Chain A
């Protein structure tokens, strides 16, 4: 057993932390929030130059051929930086979906562009009556001579205004779900901004008779369902990795502050109540890290992972918020200021905890895996 990163992963981690520290300081997170642009272009290009866009794309499509495990190393670093860009949406969700597709033309068309940082894609999945899972998708895709005609409403679409493509799930008549890469500039698409706590520039997306050509079909029928179930796992664990990164930073900041801040003539870290808070946070962070590692490893190795993925997502979603709130508590009033970074992490973990199934949704799945 080796519960830690391997050598290459350690190198990847070091490089990522160094890059993000200099290119993605918290001041950038705030300016990205306040800026009209959907996300900071320069940062995006820098990440592409680091090879991050292509990390898990196979070498045949100009990628680095890394594993999902490797990817979680990056995601953790990005969580620690509250990255204000659609990396997860593009390089995790969309690249994974396309890579798993059997449509060779689609792969050849899109994967090299993703790898080069020239294509931004985001996921359009959630609907008014379908927050999680795949059982109640109301958007329709009606097959026609050239592909599909799509209608529907998608909610909570991150960075939609900056996306070239919308990875969309719709229901066909008779052939189950279909997964499509919809050109965001297609006629019939409109966007309404719907801001959320995490500054990810979310929109509602309306599809009104949007024609999608057949060369943009990612998967149909049984393939689509299988792909989506796999994606759900990848995304749930990916969000856990982001949360672990954020939690670790919160813990580090908090322990440092507990050593530096004095009240009543001693560091506040000298009070046992503060020590216990910090100790509880540390146990939460460790637990979250190993549970996420286990799930990531199983997914990476193509082992059955449903139970571990849901254990991780349900547990990490819960403790990440607890840790962020405790970070605030130990810092006192200073953490209630916009100019202090703590709330960026609270916002980040709040959103990640909801994404791809909240704690309860995944607890239910664990129960099912237990045979209940």
Chain B
């Protein structure tokens, strides 16, 4: 056993630290309004920060760092998955705007696995450069956990598929350019056997969107309606009617790339700092045993989160599919995201409820936001119940009921 980085990994880790220290202001982590394991992206309170973020992202793309674990011939750096994990950890610890998001984290890797050479040539460079963004077109009103029952139908007609149906909870669809979408292509097949994956242009005639406001008051969700939307056949990704099986891999990528494990550590450190320097009813918070114990518990769970995260990378490097392990990571991290918010709220007392930053709102009023935000963590990208089913049934071999 060896829990340390090897030489390559360590020097990459150091290189990342140097780069981040040089390219981002020291207080950058205070700029994005983000809670660990959020889905709603990272809005900034100040538009200037948005610009700084864009410049930084461009630098990452130029270095090929948005796609470091992709093969070199596809604009990547050919790094290992462990190095990818180190990159994700460092970037998320700095809250750097580094996520290649759905494009580089899910669509790109999937295209590299199942796309045709023509498709790879067409899409990969634009994804690697950060030029185009994707949203995930999985869920429908009657297909949430039961993704195999999607009913949006794509009918073959000449050199096109004609789409009719509806997607929902389509996060960021209004900012993205394309959808990575699963739809039904065979009405007669058993449900999982009749689905296919497509890349669908948002600008396709027949596609309309309705914004849905989330409980934070933000427009992150959309409902997307497809009414005779014609999608060219070359946008079918992977084998026709095998979409569901392809998707299982995509879901592993999603669970791993979404975690942003470093944000947990960053927030823990901020909370510890707050406790060290603050009082409640005239008494230093750091002297209150229950507060100390709560922080100790959070710190322990953050450490576990790191191990479960690195484990998935290690498995990918060995050529194994971290299917059950990514479920374990997801359950662990998302429940920690919730508990961190609840515990921070308890520690901050009434001040945790303030929703606007200001002199009296500790930690930039982030805790009230996290309290709401983290509600979605254990639901999106496969609920905790579904992850536990995966762990129990696929992982432990318990019978399906």
Contacts and interface: CB of A to CB of B under 8 A. Distances in A.
Contacts of B142: 262
Interface string A235-270: 000000000000000000000000000111100000
Interface string A215-242: 0000000000000000000000000000
Given A333-B139, A333-B169, A335-B375, A196 B279 contact: no
A359 B360 CA distance: 22
A106 B372 CA distance: 43
Contact of A325 (B212, B213, B375): B375
Interface string A117-154: 00000000010111111011000000000000000000
B297 to A, nearest CB: 15
A350 B169 CA distance: 26
A346 B146 contact: no
A156 interface: yes
A334 B372 CA distance: 14
Contact of A336 (B345, B371, B379): B379
Q: Is the interface of B mostly helix, strand, loop or mixed?
A: mixed
Nearest to A342: B215
Contact of A131 (B281, B371, B379): B281
B215 A337 contact: yes
A264 B214 contact: no
A325 B338 contact: yes
B281 A197 contact: no
A358 interface: yes
Contacts of A130: 281
Interface string B207-229: 00000111101000100000000
Contacts of B360: 128, 155, 194, 204
A333 B380 contact: yes
Contacts of B214: 336-338
Contacts of B375: 325, 328, 335-336, 343, 346
A355 to B, nearest CB: 8
Interface stretch (A271-279, A282-290, A302-310): A271-279
Interface string B331-365: 00000001000100110011011111010100000
A87 B356 CA distance: 25
Contact of A133 (B168, B281, B352, B378): B281
Given A194-B358, A333-B144, 10 more contacts: A197-B372, A263-B145, A265-B146, A271-B385, A272-B401, A332-B379, A335-B379, A336-B215, A337-B212, A339-B213
A167 B388 CA distance: 51
A53 interface: no
A198 B355 CA distance: 10
Interface centre among A136, A262, A332, A343 (most CB of B within 10 A): A332
A338 B217 contact: yes
Interface in A181-210: 194-198, 204
A131 B212 CA distance: 37
Interface in A312-358: 321, 325, 328-329, 332-333, 335-339, 343, 346, 350-351, 354, 358
Given A196-B353, A197-B372, A273-B388, A338 B213 contact: yes
A129 B368 contact: no
Contact of A337 (B139, B221, B279): B221
A329 B350 contact: no
Interface of B: 139, 142, 144-146, 149, 168-169, 212-215, 217, 221, 279-282, 290, 338, 342, 345-346, 349-350, 352-356, 358, 360, 368, 371-372, 375-376, 378-380, 383-385, 388-389, 401
A351 B354 CA distance: 11
13 contacts: A129-B281, A196-B354, A263-B146, A273-B388, A332-B145, A333-B139, A333-B144, A333-B376, A336-B215, A338-B213, A338-B214, A343-B375, A350-B353
B104 to A, nearest CB: 24
A360 interface: yes
Contact of B350 (A131, A273, A325, A339): A131
Contacts of A262: 142
Nearest to A336: B376
Nearest to B367: A197
Contacts of A204: 360
Nearest to B338: A325
A263 B144 contact: yes
Nearest to A322: B342
B342 A131 contact: no
Contact of A273 (B221, B376, B385): B385
A329 B372 contact: no
5 interchain residue pairs of minimum CB distance: A343-B215, A196-B353, A263-B146, A338-B213, A131-B349
Contacts of A354: 345, 349-350, 352-353
Contacts of B149: 263-264
A54 to B, nearest CB: 30
Interface centre among A321, A325, A336, A354 (most CB of B within 10 A): A336
Contacts of B342: 321
A136 B349 contact: no
Contacts of A131: 280-281, 349-350
A128 B362 CA distance: 12
Contact of B384 (A136, A329, A359): A329
A156 B290 contact: no
Nearest to A271: B385
A114 to B, nearest CB: 26
Contacts of A346: 372, 375
A119 to B, nearest CB: 26
